[in-house]
Structure 1
Amino acid sequence: MKNIGVILAGGSGRRLGSELPKQFIVIAGKTVLAHTLHTFEKHERIDEIILVVHKDYIKETEEIVRLEGFQKVKHIVPGGKERYHSTLAALNVYKDEPCHLIIHDAVRLLVTSRIIDHVIEALESHAACTAAIPSTDTILQSDTSRQFVDNIPDRSTLFQVQTPQGFHSDILTEAYNKALSDPEFFSTDDCGVVKRYLPETPIKITQGLPFNIKLTYKEDLSIIERLLLSELK
């Protein structure tokens, strides 16, 4: 089956305090989106790419793809209000073509070929997987008031979720079909949908990297830029 890179680029940048969505900010000479696409474009096992973007930025995205000469980008489609709407948009494009979906946040622009490799390799024997790193901090779980500690989970079993996350398309479609019939459906990521609605499906943890961070706050910009410039030297 084809390995499809699904790049979710529909964020607004509100937490960054930017007028432009984060994926269109220029860092180290390229837009965030271009940095991310470059890694997927050059990966030998990624067969094609679909971009899911805000409907108001379709033309800007098309121009980035044209100027950078990305040949694997086959679809640019609008997303929706919530993150899961973007996943659904990609699922709709490939509804008649069983494939492996490697879903990645466009604003994790430091993703490496090796991280993608781990996800693709996991999909050879598992229907769902996610990049993650072991938690190095103690995590507190609060009570319902969000003011007091209710539980301190064992850190040795805790991981910080990253992307890419990988799925057999039929499994992710089945999970979302069940989710969308649930009036109490909510989603933080695609693995969460599989875990909740197809609990019998094992989700493999694959190796992420600490620097595969998500551009979220202003403070992240200088960190990411230093890492990019270090890599380019």
Structure 2
Amino acid sequence: MAQPLPEYAIIVAGGSGTRMQHDVPKQFIPVAGKPILMHTIERFYNYNPTIRLIVVLPKEQLTTWRELCKEYSFTLFHMTVPGGTTRFGSVKNGLDAVMGDGLIAVHDGVRPFVETEIIKAAFEAAANYGSGVVAISPKDSIRELTSDGSKAVPRTNYKLVQTPQVFKAGIIRKAYEQPEQANFTDDASVVESVGETITLVEGSYRNIKITTPEDLVLAEAFAKE
């Protein structure tokens, strides 16, 4: 019987806090008593205590993160890697820290409420099909912009993409060898551009990306639950 592939998670945390209207980078803002990024790391450890975690942060924030880990006695093991000038560059730097074969998840550092069942489903899809990308159905009506204005489109034809996005190591490495392009909005779009098929995994409306002050209100409510 084949041995399961080792699992990695690249947690990309490159926020500045501008949209949050906050002096502190959004991944360091406390929610329920500790920085958001710590909650996110804990979710992956709860899924798999042996997962190999790589946290990508802007170079100028690495010292602050180390000080926060001491302040909050945060001892879950992880590697830190300096980010690039774009998200593409940051993920690429994270990939450079992964040695050998495996399954690699890429996750937003400010999505601290991803459920372990969803992480598990994404890794299982990647093991079976090469990719496992978390997505949800839109709740609202959707309109497509046209040259004449806009038109209604059936929302059943659309998905809102979240993270984690998990891939076999060989697939995502090959995708990130190419130059960055303007249409790369996430890892799935990078991988798809080299001819790979994307497998979607059902996500959750609770798996929010904390980017605005309104999101912080929701985050505190979720954390209390």
What is the TM-score of this pair, normalised by structure 1? 0.88
- Aligned twin of 1:223: 218
Q: Is the 8 A contact 1:100 1:123 kept in 2?
A: yes
| 1:137 and 2:140 matched | yes
- Aligned twin of 2:35: 31
Greater than 4 Å deviation, 4+ residue runs: none
In 1: Cα distance, 2:10 partner to 2:58 partner: 14
Shift of 1:185: 4.5
3-state secondary structure, aligned to 2:55: strand
- Aligned twin of 2:163: 163
Match of 1:188 among 185, 190, 193: 185
What is the TM-score of this pair, normalised by structure 2? 0.91
- Aligned twin of 1:153: 153
3-state secondary structure, aligned to 2:127: coil
Gaps in structure 1 of 5+ consecutive residues: none
CA RMSD across the alignment: 1.8
- Aligned twin of 2:103: 100
Q: Report the count of equivalent residues.
A: 219
In 1: Cα distance, 2:140 partner to 2:7 partner: 34
In 1: Cα distance, 2:145 partner to 2:171 partner: 33
| 1:68 and 2:74 matched | yes
Gaps in structure 2 of 5+ consecutive residues: none
3-state secondary structure, aligned to 1:161: strand
In 2: Cα distance, 1:64 partner to 1:157 partner: 43
Q: Is the 8 A contact 1:27 1:225 kept in 2?
A: yes
Q: Is the 8 A contact 1:12 1:21 kept in 2?
A: yes
- Aligned twin of 1:175: 175
In 1: Cα distance, 2:153 partner to 2:89 partner: 32
Q: How far does the alpha carbon of each residue in 1:188-213 deviate from its partner, in whole angstroms, 9 at most, with x for none?
A: 10101112x223x2211112111111
Shift of 1:46: 5.1
Q: Is the 8 A contact 2:124 2:132 kept in 1?
A: no
In 1: Cα distance, 2:88 partner to 2:82 partner: 12
Over the matched positions of the two proteins, sequence identity in percent amounts to 31
